[in-house]
Amino acid sequence: MNMNLKLNIWRQKNANDKGKFVTYEVSDVSPDMSFLEMIDVLNEDLTRKGEDPVHFDHDCREGICGACSMVINGRAHGPKRGITTCQLHMRSFKEGDSITIEPWRADAFPVVKDLVVDRSAFDRIIQAGGYVSVGTGGTPDANAIPIPKKTADIAMDAAQCIGCGACVATCKNASAMLFTSAKISQLAVLPQGQTERYNRVEKMIMQMEEEGFGGCTNTGACEVECPKEISIEHIARAHREFIAAKACSHNV
């Protein structure tokens, strides 16, 4: 059965605009629609009326790119665990519901317009980590470097991070530690990442702090809201890596 809904959406012209919530009515919403498809329907209606459509990030719409960044009724990516906004379907809501939709809230993620935020701070953290000094030549054989399954599982868990920023949006301090630690872990535990291991962690942690993210207090909210359910064990590993890096640099 199709639904009629009330949407309270954050509208903001640019980073300098104060911004405000604007209420919209959407009707005949199919429960099989994704949340983004529902926003598309709203935007088609706004466009027909000559009004400015709601601006939001999206790309693959398959839960891979991490672009669909929205806080829905107070939760990053909405009420379901382990999914992105594009994987959230309207069957998760019911007739007459009022839904509040906001952008990520963090000083390091300034609002560009409406629900779109600038997440280039994440790019700069990754860039700070640099490359790995491993000559690969052509395509290497998958079994050329034997890696224990436990180690491979840890690296793959970390590598699942899609950089969506839900961890920052849900953290009371707007910390980027889950994201940064995942990017540190995926190389720190593998033999290919050993050459720059300590230099990498120092640079990435320093860049994270320069971007203005808050400090981690280990509440675990980031793990709960992460669409890939990345473990906060990576945060502990990043701390150990950073302490080891500082110890090594002092002995040089």
> Any idea what the CATH number is for the domain that residue 107 is in?
3.10.20.30
Task: Tell me which of 60, 83, 112 is where a domain ends.
Answer: 112
Is residue 251 scored above 60 in pLDDT?
A: no
Asked whether 132 and 198 are in contact (CB, 8 A), the reply is no
Note whether 70 and 130 are same-domain residues: no
Note whether 78 and 189 are same-domain residues: no
Domain that includes residue 157, residue range: 120-251
pLDDT band at residue 252 under the 50/70/90 scheme: very low
Residue 185: is it exposed, middle or buried by C-beta count within 10 angstroms (0-12/13-18/19+)? Answer: buried
Encode pLDDT of 223-236 as tens digits.
999 999 999 999 99
Number of domains making up the chain: 2
Task: Tell me which of 70, 96, 112 is where a domain ends.
Answer: 112
Q: What's the mean pLDDT in 81-109? A: 97
Note whether 149 and 98 are same-domain residues: no
- Residues facing residue 21 across a β-bridge: 10
The pLDDT assigned to 142 comes to 61
Encode pLDDT of 183-241 as tens digits.
999 999 998 888 899 999 999 999 999 999 999 999 999 999 999 999 999 999 999 99
Task: Tell me which of 77, 96, 112 is where a domain ends.
Answer: 112
* Widest pairwise Cα distance in the chain: 69
Asked whether 224 and 81 are in contact (CB, 8 A), the reply is yes
Note whether 240 and 176 are same-domain residues: yes
Q: What's the mean pLDDT in 79-98? A: 96
